Structure 1
Amino acid sequence: MPETSKPGLDPARARRAAFPRHVPIGTRWGDNDVYGHVNNVVYYAFFDTAVNGLLVEAGALDVAASAVIGLVVETGCRYHAPIAFPDAVTAGVRVARIGRSSVRYEIALFREDEAEASAEGFFVHVYVDRGTRRPVPLPERLRTVLEGWTAA
């Protein structure tokens, strides 16, 4: 039975298996807000941490010295279920679209060992020259890494 049709799973929520890369992220005491769950702005930090950490790990980004850097030009998030400290979180990362100078990343946050995402988001990086901040074609090394993260 396909995962989307299993009893009890919400067809509107992403599944872990839909993401080729996974990054563990620890929640911190200060991530919780007065309502007792991780504040919405922290989710965006989780997205950035997951994507940029993978890029650094793959040798496609040197935060201090890369001539080409990605600037976020669009972002969004849907929240399905709360996450709270001290939950262990896994960020699933995939690339939905690769353009000439842009990339759309999709990220899902999974609480503990849950199969369904607690939150799903995206952001679009436009890659620019570090000095001029003008768009440039994706470097070949970056493009190769990103192609390995595309959604199946």
Structure 2
Amino acid sequence: MFITGGFIAVIIFAYVYAKRKKIHLLKLGDFFAPALALGHALGRIGCFFSGCCYGKESSLPWSVVFINEHSLAVRGKPLHPTQLYEAFANLLLFVFLHFYSKKEHKSGVSFAVYITGYAVLRFIIEFFRGDYRGVQYFGFSVSQIISVFLFAAGVFIICRKK
């Protein structure tokens, strides 16, 4: 839950900052949405290099085998490169948001696209993760449950009237 906890902390900080500076919170979110996706993509590449957030065993041709003794991943077995899946998906999200944010839209929609897009990709990628995911609820990880709420929040922001 490192990224999710960090994301929640950023939302709280952004709320306080927006109130103090009298900036509309959703406009602030729109401004940062593309950078969030890009930063997230780069962060997952860091995860790949350290071996954290690794995938389940896989027989796919693009499976990766971690051999470094300092890697956090299971060593010597072919694994789904879930870190790279997420990095690539966030990079695509960044490209989309980069171009979308230049178009006229309601405030908050770029940010909402980021959180809904991220929620979907994270929910799916969680099925391929092999590292310890914590307690499961009804067969879903905590990250997947949080993803459902993020998705709902994003849809709410997109569908609001104002």
Alignment TM-score, normalising by the size of structure 1: 0.29
Alignment TM-score, normalising by the size of structure 2: 0.27
Greater relative contact order: 1 or 2 (C-alpha under 8 angstroms, separation 6 or more)? 1
Normalized per residue, the structure richer in strand is 1
